[in-house]
Each structure stands twice: as C-alpha cells, then as structure tokens.
Amino acid sequence: MRHDAQIVLPPFVISRLIVIVATIVGSRLIPPGASTTLPTHGAAALQPFFRFDATYYQSLWQSGYSGPLAAYHAAFYPVYPLLVRATGTLLIGPELASLLLSNLAFLGALFLIYRIAIRYLEPSVASRSLWILALWPWAIFYSYPMAESVELLLVAGALLLMERGAWVGSGVVAALAGASRPSGILTSLAFAGEFIARVRTPHPDPPPQGGRELRRVMIGGLLSPLGLVAFCLILLVQMGNPVGFLHAQSLWLGPHPRNPLFPITSTLRLVT
C-alpha cells in the first residue's frame, strides 16, 4: 500500500493543484454573467467550480427530478447527487462535500487503475499511465462537482473485482456505475464478453467448478444493468417518464437528424 501511494499521490497532487489554480485564475477572466455560477447563498470561494453541469447536479441533490427543469435534470444520473446529499449532512454542507467527494473518488480511482495496470504493464509504464490520465486536459472534470470521478472509481472497481474473480461483487459495483453516468452501463459488456468466451472455450476446471464459475459470471452480468433499471424507476416515480434520460439528451443535443440519439428519441416520442 505504501508503494502504491508513492506512485499514485504525485500525479494526483500535482495535477489537482494545476486544476485548482487554473480554475480560480480562469474564473476571473470570465466576464460577469457569461456563464452560470453557484447561487449567491453558496460559499464565494467555491463559485469558480460550480459552472455549467455542476449547477444541475446541485439542483438535483437539493430537489431531485422535479420542478420546471426536470426534463433537463433527467440527463444527470442519480448516484453522485445521492452521495453528495448523504455526505453533505456531515456539517460541511453539500457544496464542499461535492468537491471533496469528486477529488477523493478520483484519488481512489487512480489507486485501483494502478492495481489493474501493474498486472499487464511494466511498473514504469503503469506509473506513466497515471500521469497521462491525471494530466489529460479533460481530467479537470475529476475535480469538479460532477459525476465523472465517481463513475471512474466504480468502473475501475468493477473491473478489478472481475480480475480477481469476484463476479457477483463486480456486478453490484457495475450496477452503481450504470446509475452514475450514461457510459457506466457499458461495463455490462465485459460480463457479456466473459460469458461468451467461457461458453465457447472449455474451462480447465472440472465441470462442477467450471459450471459454478460460469453461473457467477452470469449473475454478475444480470446484476450489472440494474442500476440503470433503478434510475428508470426513479424517473417513472418523479417524472412519469422512465426513459426521460433519453429525452433529456435530445434536449441537450437538439432535435436534429445529426444528433446520434435522434432516431431513438424520435421513436420514443411516438410511444411515450
């Protein structure tokens, strides 16, 4: 664990310092009113981090999928707002809790990713991969009050559990990933690939042992999409539309044929 910390902490600390400084300095260059910021009741020091999607997440952990902007809120999945609401009750407030949660989740994800990388790569390459991830321009969002870092942590956790043969536990974590962001559901494809590979390739263990392992893979795979199913149920109860997240994506991207979701959302409008 100490060795892992020596590898993980430098890219995390250096990259997060760059993000914090760049965000604060950059926010002062934005003309007043040019972008959405944290409402005035929030701490002024945190306002540079609460722009664009972060304001929608803030509205979600305050009021859920209801109100005049519910159709837009449905584009944002529930795991992160629920975690912020839970941790925000610890006397630190939801805004500060959201920032701590995002950064701690990214730190945890780096540890898990390193554990996976070291199994397949040379130590120097595994270490370098963390620097590339942490310094990648889009990695700024792992320090903002958004769900990206939580999804990364959950996906990395699910994959690491798969590596260790804990298929049922991996399915539970993958289900949480599927309820964190739209791309989280893609973790289910790993279960499908593993199941197909085991069916097509004879297992080296005797039939009873191999059969039990195959059942565990199947159970994990069946668990993995349940997070998305739960999200659909939340939207059904609060909005009356279980696929509101698809409609919301269309609202964000626009009802244009070049929108990759246009065929799906157009069809859904006919039947919902």
* Residue 269 belongs to some domain of the structure: yes
* Residue 49 belongs to some domain of the structure: no
Q: How is residue 137 written in tokens?
A: 């321009």
Cβ atoms of 76 and 60 closer than 8 Å: yes
* Residue 85 belongs to some domain of the structure: no
Helix axes 148-163, 79-87, angle to 10 degrees: 110
* Residue 96 belongs to some domain of the structure: no
Number of domains forming the structure of the chain: 1
Cβ atoms of 154 and 169 closer than 8 Å: no
Which pTM was predicted?
0.86
Cα–Cα distance for residue pair 64/72, rounded to 1 Å: 12
Cβ atoms of 179 and 72 closer than 8 Å: no
* Residue 161 belongs to some domain of the structure: no
* Residue 122 belongs to some domain of the structure: no
pLDDT digits (tens, 9 = 90+) for 73-95: 888 999 999 999 988 877 688 88
Helix axes 207-223, 167-178, angle to 10 degrees: 10
pLDDT digits (tens, 9 = 90+) for 175-194: 999 999 999 999 999 999 98
Cα–Cα distance for residue pair 30/50, rounded to 1 Å: 13
Per-residue pLDDT of the chain (272 residues), as tens digits, is 788 999 999 999 999 999 999 998 888 887 766 655 445 456 777 888 887 788 888 888 888 888 777 778 888 999 999 999 988 877 688 889 999 999 999 999 999 999 999 999 999 999 999 999 999 999 999 999 999 999 999 999 999 999 999 999 999 999 999 999 999 999 999 999 988 888 887 656 555 556 788 889 999 999 999 999 999 999 999 888 888 887 776 665 655 544 444 454 455 455 55
- Which has the closest alpha carbon to 249: 196, 93, 241? 241
Whole-number CA gyration radius for the chain: 21
Q: How is residue 160 written in tokens?
A: 């690491």
* Residue 185 belongs to some domain of the structure: no
Cα–Cα distance for residue pair 167/131, rounded to 1 Å: 29
Residue for token digits 């392992």? 213
Cα–Cα distance for residue pair 184/173, rounded to 1 Å: 10
- Which has the closest alpha carbon to 101: 154, 133, 143, 134? 143
Residue for token digits 């070049």? 258
Cα–Cα distance for residue pair 181/141, rounded to 1 Å: 13
* Residue 32 belongs to some domain of the structure: no
The domain containing residue 269 runs over which residues? 241-272
Residue for token digits 């310094």? 135
